[in-house]
Amino acid sequence: MKDFQISGPIELPDAPGVELWEGRSSAAGAFSCVAVCRSPSRSDWPALGGTRWIQEPSADPERGVRQAESESSRLAQAMLSKNRLLQRAERELRIQDPRWANRRTAFGWQGGKGVILTSGPGQELTPARLICHGLLVEHLRGEYFASEDQGVGKGELRWIARSTHFTVGLGCAVDTGDPTAIGVLAAIYQAALTTRLVRGPELSALEVLSPECPPILEGLSVLVIGAGKVGLPLLGFLARRGARCFVFDPALAPDRIPEFVRQNLERGAAIDRYHTELLVRLAKEGRILTDERRALQLEEVQIISPNGGRTDWLKHAVDGKTSTAGFLAAAKAKGGTALRLIVGAGNAQLVDDPRIRGDAEEVLEVLRKEEIDWIPDPAVSPGGVIAVSHEQQDAWVLENVRADAFDVVRHNVRKLYEGASLLGAVDSVTLYEAFQVRLQARDPEE
Protein backbone atom coordinates (compact mmCIF):
# COMPACT_ATOMS: atom_id res chain seq x y z
CA MET A 1 0.00 0.00 0.00
CA LYS A 2 1.85 3.06 -1.26
CA ASP A 3 0.17 5.53 1.11
CA PHE A 4 0.38 3.31 4.21
CA GLN A 5 1.77 5.29 7.15
CA ILE A 6 2.81 4.13 10.61
CA SER A 7 3.06 6.24 13.77
CA GLY A 8 4.33 5.24 17.20
CA PRO A 9 5.12 4.32 19.78
CA ILE A 10 2.39 6.49 21.31
CA GLU A 11 1.85 6.68 25.07
CA LEU A 12 -1.81 7.10 26.01
CA PRO A 13 -2.59 9.10 29.18
CA ASP A 14 -5.35 6.68 30.22
CA ALA A 15 -3.23 3.54 29.71
CA PRO A 16 0.01 3.80 31.70
CA GLY A 17 2.68 1.29 30.71
CA VAL A 18 1.19 0.69 27.25
CA GLU A 19 2.88 1.56 23.96
CA LEU A 20 0.67 1.97 20.89
CA TRP A 21 1.45 1.86 17.17
CA GLU A 22 -1.04 2.92 14.48
CA GLY A 23 -1.22 2.32 10.75
CA ARG A 24 -3.37 4.15 8.17
CA SER A 25 -4.04 3.93 4.45
CA SER A 26 -6.52 6.24 2.74
CA ALA A 27 -6.45 4.17 -0.44
CA ALA A 28 -7.43 0.99 1.41
CA GLY A 29 -9.71 2.77 3.90
CA ALA A 30 -7.61 1.15 6.59
CA PHE A 31 -6.90 1.98 10.22
CA SER A 32 -5.47 -0.44 12.74
CA CYS A 33 -3.41 -0.33 15.89
CA VAL A 34 -1.27 -2.59 18.05
CA ALA A 35 -0.81 -2.10 21.80
CA VAL A 36 2.00 -3.70 23.78
CA CYS A 37 2.20 -3.93 27.58
CA ARG A 38 5.48 -5.32 28.90
CA SER A 39 6.70 -6.84 32.15
CA PRO A 40 10.40 -6.03 32.75
CA SER A 41 10.96 -9.52 34.16
CA ARG A 42 10.04 -11.15 30.81
CA SER A 43 12.02 -9.00 28.41
CA ASP A 44 13.22 -12.11 26.56
CA TRP A 45 9.72 -12.90 25.22
CA PRO A 46 7.61 -10.94 22.69
CA ALA A 47 4.04 -9.81 23.27
CA LEU A 48 1.16 -12.00 22.16
CA GLY A 49 -2.47 -11.08 21.61
CA GLY A 50 -5.27 -11.54 19.15
CA THR A 51 -6.32 -9.11 16.45
CA ARG A 52 -9.88 -7.88 16.97
CA TRP A 53 -12.22 -6.33 14.40
CA ILE A 54 -14.15 -3.32 15.70
CA GLN A 55 -17.02 -1.87 13.66
CA GLU A 56 -17.92 1.75 14.30
CA PRO A 57 -21.52 2.07 13.03
CA SER A 58 -21.34 5.81 12.45
CA ALA A 59 -19.41 7.47 9.64
CA ASP A 60 -17.22 9.30 12.19
CA PRO A 61 -13.81 7.65 11.82
CA GLU A 62 -12.18 9.57 14.69
CA ARG A 63 -14.79 8.27 17.12
CA GLY A 64 -13.87 4.78 15.99
CA VAL A 65 -10.15 5.53 16.33
CA ARG A 66 -10.63 6.53 19.96
CA GLN A 67 -12.55 3.33 20.61
CA ALA A 68 -9.88 1.24 18.87
CA GLU A 69 -7.09 2.87 20.89
CA SER A 70 -8.97 2.28 24.14
CA GLU A 71 -9.88 -1.32 23.32
CA SER A 72 -6.37 -2.30 22.24
CA SER A 73 -4.67 -0.69 25.24
CA ARG A 74 -7.11 -2.10 27.79
CA LEU A 75 -6.92 -5.56 26.29
CA ALA A 76 -3.11 -5.48 26.10
CA GLN A 77 -3.07 -4.82 29.85
CA ALA A 78 -5.51 -7.69 30.38
CA MET A 79 -3.34 -9.96 28.21
CA LEU A 80 -0.28 -9.19 30.36
CA SER A 81 -2.28 -10.14 33.47
CA LYS A 82 -3.50 -13.30 31.78
CA ASN A 83 0.00 -14.27 30.71
CA ARG A 84 1.50 -13.60 34.14
CA LEU A 85 -1.07 -15.85 35.81
CA LEU A 86 -0.42 -18.48 33.16
CA GLN A 87 3.31 -18.30 33.85
CA ARG A 88 2.79 -18.65 37.62
CA ALA A 89 0.56 -21.68 37.14
CA GLU A 90 3.10 -23.24 34.78
CA ARG A 91 5.90 -22.91 37.36
CA GLU A 92 3.79 -24.27 40.20
CA LEU A 93 2.36 -27.18 38.21
CA ARG A 94 5.89 -28.26 37.28
CA ILE A 95 6.52 -28.82 40.99
CA GLN A 96 3.14 -30.26 41.96
CA ASP A 97 1.96 -32.29 38.95
CA PRO A 98 3.98 -35.15 37.40
CA ARG A 99 2.34 -34.45 34.04
CA TRP A 100 4.03 -31.05 34.01
CA ALA A 101 7.46 -32.06 35.35
CA ASN A 102 10.55 -31.41 33.21
CA ARG A 103 8.64 -29.33 30.64
CA ARG A 104 10.38 -26.28 29.21
CA THR A 105 8.77 -22.84 29.51
CA ALA A 106 6.03 -22.42 26.93
CA PHE A 107 4.06 -19.43 28.20
CA GLY A 108 6.46 -16.50 28.75
CA TRP A 109 4.57 -14.02 26.57
CA GLN A 110 4.16 -10.30 27.22
CA GLY A 111 0.75 -8.61 26.76
CA GLY A 112 -0.39 -7.36 23.37
CA LYS A 113 -3.51 -6.69 21.32
CA GLY A 114 -4.30 -5.62 17.79
CA VAL A 115 -7.44 -3.88 16.54
CA ILE A 116 -8.63 -3.32 12.98
CA LEU A 117 -11.29 -0.62 12.63
CA THR A 118 -14.00 -0.14 10.05
CA SER A 119 -16.23 2.94 10.22
CA GLY A 120 -19.68 3.36 8.71
CA PRO A 121 -22.45 0.89 7.85
CA GLY A 122 -21.71 -2.10 5.64
CA GLN A 123 -17.93 -1.85 5.84
CA GLU A 124 -16.14 -5.19 5.49
CA LEU A 125 -12.84 -6.61 6.69
CA THR A 126 -11.27 -6.54 3.23
CA PRO A 127 -7.99 -8.25 2.25
CA ALA A 128 -6.43 -4.80 1.80
CA ARG A 129 -7.25 -3.83 5.39
CA LEU A 130 -5.88 -7.14 6.66
CA ILE A 131 -2.69 -6.76 4.64
CA CYS A 132 -2.25 -3.24 6.02
CA HIS A 133 -2.53 -4.60 9.54
CA GLY A 134 0.11 -7.17 8.67
CA LEU A 135 2.42 -4.37 7.57
CA LEU A 136 1.93 -2.71 10.95
CA VAL A 137 2.73 -5.97 12.76
CA GLU A 138 5.83 -6.46 10.58
CA HIS A 139 6.99 -2.94 11.51
CA LEU A 140 7.33 -4.07 15.14
CA ARG A 141 9.90 -6.70 14.02
CA GLY A 142 8.83 -9.47 16.37
CA GLU A 143 8.00 -7.39 19.45
CA TYR A 144 4.37 -8.52 18.94
CA PHE A 145 2.85 -11.67 17.44
CA ALA A 146 -0.69 -11.46 16.03
CA SER A 147 -3.25 -14.23 16.41
CA GLU A 148 -7.04 -14.67 16.14
CA ASP A 149 -9.71 -12.78 18.07
CA GLN A 150 -13.30 -11.57 17.64
CA GLY A 151 -14.05 -11.14 13.95
CA VAL A 152 -10.62 -12.40 12.90
CA GLY A 153 -10.41 -16.13 12.29
CA LYS A 154 -7.89 -18.27 10.47
CA GLY A 155 -8.99 -17.03 7.05
CA GLU A 156 -8.39 -13.41 8.03
CA LEU A 157 -5.16 -14.32 9.83
CA ARG A 158 -3.85 -15.87 6.60
CA TRP A 159 -4.32 -12.52 4.84
CA ILE A 160 -2.46 -10.76 7.67
CA ALA A 161 0.35 -13.33 7.35
CA ARG A 162 0.84 -12.35 3.69
CA SER A 163 2.54 -9.15 4.85
CA THR A 164 4.22 -10.24 8.10
CA HIS A 165 6.26 -13.13 9.47
CA PHE A 166 4.97 -12.53 13.00
CA THR A 167 1.71 -14.44 13.37
CA VAL A 168 0.87 -17.45 15.50
CA GLY A 169 -2.19 -19.70 15.52
CA LEU A 170 -2.30 -21.01 11.97
CA GLY A 171 -0.78 -24.27 13.20
CA CYS A 172 -3.69 -24.99 15.57
CA ALA A 173 -5.82 -27.89 14.38
CA VAL A 174 -9.00 -26.34 15.81
CA ASP A 175 -10.16 -22.82 16.58
CA THR A 176 -8.69 -21.38 19.78
CA GLY A 177 -12.23 -20.86 21.09
CA ASP A 178 -12.30 -24.59 21.88
CA PRO A 179 -9.48 -24.60 24.50
CA THR A 180 -10.68 -21.22 25.79
CA ALA A 181 -14.09 -22.81 26.42
CA ILE A 182 -12.36 -25.72 28.15
CA GLY A 183 -10.74 -23.20 30.49
CA VAL A 184 -14.12 -21.66 31.28
CA LEU A 185 -15.49 -25.16 31.96
CA ALA A 186 -12.59 -25.75 34.38
CA ALA A 187 -13.23 -22.44 36.15
CA ILE A 188 -16.96 -23.14 36.51
CA TYR A 189 -16.27 -26.68 37.75
CA GLN A 190 -13.67 -25.62 40.33
CA ALA A 191 -15.64 -22.59 41.54
CA ALA A 192 -18.86 -24.63 41.79
CA LEU A 193 -17.06 -27.31 43.83
CA THR A 194 -15.48 -24.72 46.12
CA THR A 195 -18.78 -22.91 46.74
CA ARG A 196 -20.67 -26.24 47.02
CA LEU A 197 -23.00 -25.48 44.15
CA VAL A 198 -22.09 -28.99 43.04
CA ARG A 199 -20.74 -31.84 45.15
CA GLY A 200 -18.69 -34.93 44.59
CA PRO A 201 -15.05 -35.96 44.34
CA GLU A 202 -12.79 -33.64 42.35
CA LEU A 203 -12.07 -35.36 39.04
CA SER A 204 -8.86 -35.01 37.04
CA ALA A 205 -8.67 -33.14 33.74
CA LEU A 206 -8.60 -36.41 31.82
CA GLU A 207 -11.70 -37.64 33.65
CA VAL A 208 -13.65 -34.42 33.10
CA LEU A 209 -12.66 -34.23 29.43
CA SER A 210 -13.46 -37.88 28.74
CA PRO A 211 -16.57 -38.63 26.63
CA GLU A 212 -17.59 -40.95 29.47
CA CYS A 213 -17.53 -38.15 32.06
CA PRO A 214 -20.55 -38.43 34.40
CA PRO A 215 -22.98 -35.48 34.77
CA ILE A 216 -20.75 -33.65 37.27
CA LEU A 217 -22.62 -30.35 36.77
CA GLU A 218 -26.10 -31.80 37.20
CA GLY A 219 -28.37 -29.37 39.06
CA LEU A 220 -26.31 -26.35 38.05
CA SER A 221 -27.99 -23.58 36.00
CA VAL A 222 -25.67 -21.48 33.84
CA LEU A 223 -26.35 -18.47 31.61
CA VAL A 224 -23.81 -18.21 28.78
CA ILE A 225 -23.57 -14.66 27.42
CA GLY A 226 -22.35 -14.60 23.83
CA ALA A 227 -22.82 -17.59 21.53
CA GLY A 228 -19.68 -17.12 19.48
CA LYS A 229 -16.50 -19.11 19.01
CA VAL A 230 -16.12 -19.52 22.79
CA GLY A 231 -19.75 -19.48 23.91
CA LEU A 232 -21.01 -22.14 21.50
CA PRO A 233 -18.36 -24.76 22.36
CA LEU A 234 -18.84 -23.90 26.04
CA LEU A 235 -22.57 -24.57 25.81
CA GLY A 236 -21.79 -28.00 24.43
CA PHE A 237 -19.22 -28.82 27.13
CA LEU A 238 -21.58 -27.68 29.90
CA ALA A 239 -24.66 -29.49 28.56
CA ARG A 240 -22.77 -32.76 28.07
CA ARG A 241 -21.76 -32.63 31.74
CA GLY A 242 -25.28 -32.14 33.01
CA ALA A 243 -25.62 -28.36 33.42
CA ARG A 244 -28.94 -26.70 32.66
CA CYS A 245 -27.95 -24.05 30.11
CA PHE A 246 -29.41 -20.73 29.04
CA VAL A 247 -27.90 -18.46 26.40
CA PHE A 248 -28.15 -14.74 25.72
CA ASP A 249 -27.03 -13.37 22.37
CA PRO A 250 -28.91 -10.56 20.60
CA ALA A 251 -27.93 -12.06 17.23
CA LEU A 252 -29.28 -15.52 18.03
CA ALA A 253 -32.89 -15.47 16.89
CA PRO A 254 -34.53 -18.82 17.74
CA ASP A 255 -36.04 -19.06 14.24
CA ARG A 256 -32.63 -18.59 12.55
CA ILE A 257 -30.52 -21.17 14.36
CA PRO A 258 -29.18 -23.03 11.27
CA GLU A 259 -28.04 -19.76 9.70
CA PHE A 260 -26.46 -18.63 12.99
CA VAL A 261 -24.53 -21.89 13.32
CA ARG A 262 -23.47 -21.76 9.67
CA GLN A 263 -22.06 -18.26 10.15
CA ASN A 264 -20.03 -19.43 13.15
CA LEU A 265 -18.77 -22.43 11.20
CA GLU A 266 -17.64 -20.09 8.44
CA ARG A 267 -15.69 -18.14 11.06
CA GLY A 268 -13.97 -21.38 12.06
CA ALA A 269 -15.80 -22.16 15.31
CA ALA A 270 -15.05 -25.59 16.77
CA ILE A 271 -18.64 -26.80 16.68
CA ASP A 272 -20.60 -29.57 14.97
CA ARG A 273 -24.11 -30.90 14.44
CA TYR A 274 -24.56 -31.43 18.18
CA HIS A 275 -24.48 -27.67 18.78
CA THR A 276 -27.28 -27.07 16.28
CA GLU A 277 -29.38 -29.76 17.96
CA LEU A 278 -28.61 -28.27 21.38
CA LEU A 279 -29.67 -24.77 20.31
CA VAL A 280 -32.89 -26.11 18.78
CA ARG A 281 -33.67 -27.86 22.07
CA LEU A 282 -32.88 -24.72 24.10
CA ALA A 283 -35.13 -22.67 21.80
CA LYS A 284 -38.04 -25.08 22.25
CA GLU A 285 -37.62 -24.82 26.03
CA GLY A 286 -37.45 -21.01 25.96
CA ARG A 287 -33.81 -20.92 27.05
CA ILE A 288 -32.48 -18.72 24.24
CA LEU A 289 -32.85 -15.02 25.03
CA THR A 290 -32.20 -11.91 22.96
CA ASP A 291 -33.25 -9.36 25.59
CA GLU A 292 -30.42 -8.46 28.00
CA ARG A 293 -32.57 -7.31 30.91
CA ARG A 294 -34.63 -10.47 30.86
CA ALA A 295 -31.51 -12.66 30.60
CA LEU A 296 -29.83 -11.03 33.59
CA GLN A 297 -32.94 -11.55 35.73
CA LEU A 298 -33.45 -15.28 35.15
CA GLU A 299 -34.60 -16.65 38.48
CA GLU A 300 -32.87 -20.02 38.56
CA VAL A 301 -29.47 -19.08 37.11
CA GLN A 302 -26.63 -19.62 39.59
CA ILE A 303 -23.70 -18.82 37.29
CA ILE A 304 -23.36 -16.21 34.56
CA SER A 305 -20.56 -16.75 32.06
CA PRO A 306 -19.79 -13.63 29.95
CA ASN A 307 -17.77 -14.55 26.86
CA GLY A 308 -16.62 -11.91 24.37
CA GLY A 309 -18.24 -8.49 24.20
CA ARG A 310 -16.97 -5.07 25.18
CA THR A 311 -14.46 -4.16 27.86
CA ASP A 312 -15.59 -3.02 31.30
CA TRP A 313 -18.67 -5.25 31.12
CA LEU A 314 -19.37 -5.05 34.86
CA LYS A 315 -19.49 -1.23 34.71
CA HIS A 316 -21.23 -1.02 31.34
CA ALA A 317 -24.76 0.33 31.72
CA VAL A 318 -27.71 -1.96 31.05
CA ASP A 319 -30.10 -0.07 28.75
CA GLY A 320 -27.99 3.02 29.33
CA LYS A 321 -28.95 3.15 33.02
CA THR A 322 -27.73 0.93 35.86
CA SER A 323 -24.33 -0.77 35.61
CA THR A 324 -24.35 -4.52 34.95
CA ALA A 325 -23.01 -5.18 38.46
CA GLY A 326 -25.65 -2.95 40.00
CA PHE A 327 -28.42 -4.48 37.89
CA LEU A 328 -27.43 -8.04 38.89
CA ALA A 329 -27.17 -7.10 42.56
CA ALA A 330 -30.54 -5.33 42.54
CA ALA A 331 -32.23 -8.31 40.87
CA LYS A 332 -30.88 -10.66 43.55
CA ALA A 333 -31.70 -8.25 46.39
CA LYS A 334 -35.35 -8.38 45.34
CA GLY A 335 -35.25 -12.15 45.70
CA GLY A 336 -35.56 -12.58 41.96
CA THR A 337 -32.44 -14.60 41.20
CA ALA A 338 -30.22 -17.36 42.59
CA LEU A 339 -27.03 -15.85 41.12
CA ARG A 340 -23.87 -16.89 42.98
CA LEU A 341 -20.95 -16.64 40.52
CA ILE A 342 -19.77 -14.67 37.48
CA VAL A 343 -17.20 -16.75 35.58
CA GLY A 344 -16.35 -16.17 31.94
CA ALA A 345 -13.71 -15.57 29.29
CA GLY A 346 -14.86 -12.11 28.18
CA ASN A 347 -11.73 -9.94 28.29
CA ALA A 348 -11.36 -6.98 30.69
CA GLN A 349 -14.78 -7.35 32.34
CA LEU A 350 -13.63 -4.84 34.96
CA VAL A 351 -11.00 -2.24 34.07
CA ASP A 352 -9.26 -1.00 37.22
CA ASP A 353 -8.01 2.52 36.49
CA PRO A 354 -4.99 3.08 38.81
CA ARG A 355 -5.70 6.82 38.82
CA ILE A 356 -9.06 6.24 40.54
CA ARG A 357 -8.47 4.80 43.97
CA GLY A 358 -10.86 2.00 44.84
CA ASP A 359 -12.61 2.11 41.47
CA ALA A 360 -12.73 -1.68 41.00
CA GLU A 361 -13.47 -2.32 44.67
CA GLU A 362 -16.51 -0.04 44.55
CA VAL A 363 -17.99 -2.09 41.72
CA LEU A 364 -17.21 -5.39 43.43
CA GLU A 365 -18.58 -4.19 46.77
CA VAL A 366 -21.99 -3.97 45.06
CA LEU A 367 -21.70 -7.68 44.19
CA ARG A 368 -20.27 -8.64 47.59
CA LYS A 369 -23.30 -7.28 49.45
CA GLU A 370 -25.51 -9.73 47.55
CA GLU A 371 -23.05 -12.66 47.85
CA ILE A 372 -22.20 -12.75 44.15
CA ASP A 373 -18.61 -13.84 43.51
CA TRP A 374 -16.61 -12.76 40.45
CA ILE A 375 -13.60 -14.67 39.14
CA PRO A 376 -11.35 -12.16 37.29
CA ASP A 377 -11.33 -13.07 33.62
CA PRO A 378 -7.51 -13.20 33.16
CA ALA A 379 -7.57 -16.30 35.38
CA VAL A 380 -10.30 -17.89 33.27
CA SER A 381 -9.36 -17.23 29.65
CA PRO A 382 -5.79 -18.35 28.80
CA GLY A 383 -6.95 -21.22 26.56
CA GLY A 384 -6.17 -19.37 23.33
CA VAL A 385 -2.64 -18.52 24.48
CA ILE A 386 -2.10 -22.14 25.50
CA ALA A 387 -3.36 -23.35 22.13
CA VAL A 388 -1.07 -21.17 20.00
CA SER A 389 1.87 -21.81 22.34
CA HIS A 390 1.57 -25.51 21.58
CA GLU A 391 2.78 -24.70 18.08
CA GLN A 392 6.24 -24.82 19.71
CA GLN A 393 5.79 -28.58 20.19
CA ASP A 394 6.77 -31.21 17.63
CA ALA A 395 3.08 -31.93 17.05
CA TRP A 396 -0.10 -30.02 17.91
CA VAL A 397 -2.36 -32.45 19.82
CA LEU A 398 -5.86 -31.30 20.80
CA GLU A 399 -6.07 -33.59 23.84
CA ASN A 400 -2.85 -32.13 25.27
CA VAL A 401 -3.96 -28.54 24.62
CA ARG A 402 -7.31 -29.14 26.31
CA ALA A 403 -5.70 -30.84 29.31
CA ASP A 404 -3.25 -27.95 29.76
CA ALA A 405 -6.05 -25.37 29.54
CA PHE A 406 -8.10 -27.28 32.10
CA ASP A 407 -5.16 -27.77 34.49
CA VAL A 408 -3.96 -24.16 34.34
CA VAL A 409 -7.35 -22.54 34.86
CA ARG A 410 -8.44 -24.92 37.61
CA HIS A 411 -5.11 -24.36 39.40
CA ASN A 412 -5.41 -20.57 39.24
CA VAL A 413 -9.05 -20.55 40.37
CA ARG A 414 -8.19 -22.82 43.28
CA LYS A 415 -5.32 -20.49 44.23
CA LEU A 416 -7.62 -17.45 44.12
CA TYR A 417 -10.05 -19.07 46.57
CA GLU A 418 -7.17 -20.14 48.83
CA GLY A 419 -5.74 -16.62 48.70
CA ALA A 420 -9.11 -15.06 49.54
CA SER A 421 -9.44 -17.38 52.54
CA LEU A 422 -6.03 -16.25 53.80
CA LEU A 423 -7.24 -12.66 53.52
CA GLY A 424 -10.10 -13.50 55.86
CA ALA A 425 -13.15 -13.87 53.59
CA VAL A 426 -14.30 -15.36 50.32
CA ASP A 427 -16.30 -12.85 48.30
CA SER A 428 -15.96 -10.75 45.16
CA VAL A 429 -13.77 -8.13 46.88
CA THR A 430 -11.30 -10.54 48.50
CA LEU A 431 -11.14 -12.74 45.39
CA TYR A 432 -10.06 -9.63 43.49
CA GLU A 433 -7.52 -8.80 46.19
CA ALA A 434 -6.18 -12.36 45.98
CA PHE A 435 -5.98 -11.96 42.22
CA GLN A 436 -3.91 -8.79 42.60
CA VAL A 437 -1.60 -10.43 45.15
CA ARG A 438 -1.04 -13.41 42.86
CA LEU A 439 -0.52 -11.15 39.87
CA GLN A 440 2.06 -8.93 41.55
CA ALA A 441 4.00 -11.54 43.52
CA ARG A 442 7.51 -12.16 42.22
CA ASP A 443 8.74 -15.64 41.44
CA PRO A 444 12.15 -16.90 42.60
CA GLU A 445 13.51 -17.06 39.03
CA GLU A 446 12.51 -13.49 38.20
Q: Which 8-state DSSP code applies to residue 392?
A: G
CB contact set of 27 (below 8 Å; sequence gap of 6+):
1, 2, 3, 128
- Give the largest CA-CA distance in the chain: 63
**Domain residue limits at 204:** 177-440
Q: Are 154 and 300 contained in the same domain?
A: no
Q: Judge whether 446 lies within some domain.
A: no
Residues 259 and 405 in one domain: yes
| Mode of pairing for the β-strands spanning 221-225 and 244-248 | parallel
Alpha carbon 365 to chain centroid distance? 23
Q: How many residues would you count in the chain? A: 446
Is 91 part of any domain? yes
The answer to whether residue 170 sits within a structural domain is no
For residues 87 and 152, give the distance between their C-alpha atoms in angstroms, rounded to a whole number: 26
* Percent of residues, the chain, with pLDDT higher than 70: 96
The angle that helices 428-440 and 359-369 make with each other, rounded to 10 degrees, is: 140
Section 33-54 average pLDDT: 87
pLDDT (0 to 100) of residue 298: 95
Select from 109, 136, 161 the last residue of a domain: 161
Which CATH number characterizes residue 137's domain? 3.40.50.10860
Q: Are residues 142 and 286 in the same domain?
A: no
Among candidate residues 239, 237, 337, 241, the one with its CA nearest the CA of residue 282:
239
The count of domains in the chain is: 2
Given 161, 186, 207, which residue is the final one in a domain?
A: 161
In a domain, 169, yes or no: no
- Over residues 253-263, mean pLDDT: 93
Residues ≥6 apart with Cβ < 8 Å to 151:
52, 53, 54, 55, 116, 125
Model confidence over 68-107: pLDDT tens digits? 998 899 889 889 989 999 999 999 999 998 989 888 888 9
Helix (H) or strand (E) holding 174: none
| Contact predicate 216/194, CB 8 Å | no
Start-to-end C-alpha separation, the chain? 42
Cα 44–90–188 angle (5° rounding)? 130
pLDDT at 138 > cutoff 60? yes
Task: Tell me the mean pLDDT in the region 370-396.
Answer: 93
In a domain, 135, yes or no: yes
Closest CA to 77 of 123, 38, 121, 41: 38
Q: What is the DSSP string of 31-89?
A: EEEEEEE--GGGTTS-EEEEEEEEEE-SS-HHHHHHHHHHHHHHHHHHHHHHHHHHHHH
Q: Are residues 241 and 300 both part of a single domain?
A: yes
Confidence of residue 11 (pLDDT cuts 50, 70, 90): confident
Confidence of residue 150 (pLDDT cuts 50, 70, 90): confident
Residue 11 placed within a domain: yes
pLDDT digits (tens, 9 = 90+) for 296-354: 999 999 999 999 777 788 988 887 788 999 999 999 998 889 999 999 998 788 876 55
- State how far the Cα of 406 lies from the Cα of 32, in Å rounded to an integer: 33
The answer to whether position 166 is within a domain reads: no
Flag whether pLDDT at 399 surpasses 60: yes
**DSSP secondary structure string for all residues of 313-347:** TTTSBGGGSSBHHHHHHHHHHTT-----EE----T
Name the average pLDDT for the chain. Answer: 91
